[in-house]
Structure 1
Amino acid sequence: MAEKTYSEDEIKERLARELPHWRYEDGWIRRTYRTSSWKGTLMVINTVGHLAEAAWHHPDLTASYAWVEVRLMNHHAKGVTDKDFALATKIEDVVQWQPGTEGKGLEGTPRDDLRFSYVKYD
C-alpha cells in the first residue's frame, strides 16, 4: 500500500506548525544542528543513527566539524510522508533535550566549559 506523500505547501505548513527549525528544500525536509566541536558532531550523528535504525527509516546526513545536516524523504514513496515527520520529531526531541532544565537530577553538561559543551541549543 502506497504511503501518502505531502505537497510542498502541506509540508511547509506542517513544518511551521510542528517543526519550526526544519525547512523544506529540494524534496527533503532538513535540519542543521550546530555543535561545539567534532565530538558533538559525532554524538549527534550517532543519536540520529540510533533513532533512524530503531524506526527503520533512514535519513541522509552531511557533517562537518561543528554541524550536522539531517535530510529526510521517504525513498520508497518518493516524497515526504508521515514517517519523515515522525522521525524528524523524535530526532528533534532527543537532540534538543536539555536535561539541566528539567530539575530531575540530571544537570546536563557544564555550559560555561567548552570541553564539555557539545550541542548548540536553539
Structure 2
Amino acid sequence: MPSEPLSQKEIEDRLRELPGWAFEDDRILRTYRLGTHVAAGALVAHIVAVQDELNHHADVTLGYDTVRLAVNTHSAGDAVTETDFELAQRIEGIAPAHGAG
C-alpha cells in the first residue's frame, strides 16, 4: 500500500526536524558538501545501500564534492510522503560519517 501524500503543513513540520532540507517542486531536497570527490562518491554508495534496504529511491546527483538529493514518492502521484522523510532521516544519519556538511 503506497504512502499517502502529506499536507503542506505536515511537510513544513517534518522539515523542522531536518536542518538543511527544503521543499521545492513537490520534492524534499538537500545538497551535501564534502571534502573530496572520493568522499562524495562514498556517500552516494552508502545512500544507494540505504535506498535498496528501504526500497525507496531518491534522485541523486554526484558533483565533484557535492551530493544533491531530491525525494518524492512516484506511487503517490509524485507527492511527498512519510516514506520520503524516512529516507531523508536515514541519509542524515549516515552523512556525518562521510564528512558531509
Contact 1:3–1:77, Cα closer than 8 Å, also in 2:
yes
TM-score, length basis structure 1: 0.75
Say if 2:52 is the partner of 1:72.
no
Structure 1: tracts of 5 or more residues without a match: 98-117
Q: Which one has a larger percent helix, Structure 1 or Structure 2?
A: 2
Contact 1:34–1:67, Cα closer than 8 Å, also in 2:
yes
Say if 2:93 is the partner of 1:119.
no
Q: Provide the aligned length of Structure 1 versus Structure 2.
A: 100
TM-score, length basis structure 2: 0.89
Correspondence for 1:81? 81
How high is the sequence identity, in percent, across the aligned residues? Answer: 33
Contact 1:33–1:119, Cα closer than 8 Å, also in 2:
no
Classify 1:86/1:120 alpha carbon distance in 2 versus 1 (closer, same or farther; 3 Å).
Answer: closer
Correspondence for 1:4? 4
Structure 2: tracts of 5 or more residues without a match: none
**Larger of the two Rg values belongs to structure:** 1
Correspondence for 1:39? 38
Task: Output the CA distance in 1 between the equivalents of 2:37 and 2:86.
Answer: 27
Using the TM superposition, give the Cα deviation of residue 2 of structure 1 relative to its aligned residue in structure 2, in angstroms: 4.5
- Superposed, 1:7-26 pairs within 5 Å as 7-16=7-16, 18-26=17-25
Task: Output the CA distance in 2 between the equivalents of 1:76 and 1:28.
Answer: 14
Runs of 4+ in 1 over 6 A off after TM superposition: none
Higher RCO (C-alpha under 8 Å, 6+ residues apart): 2
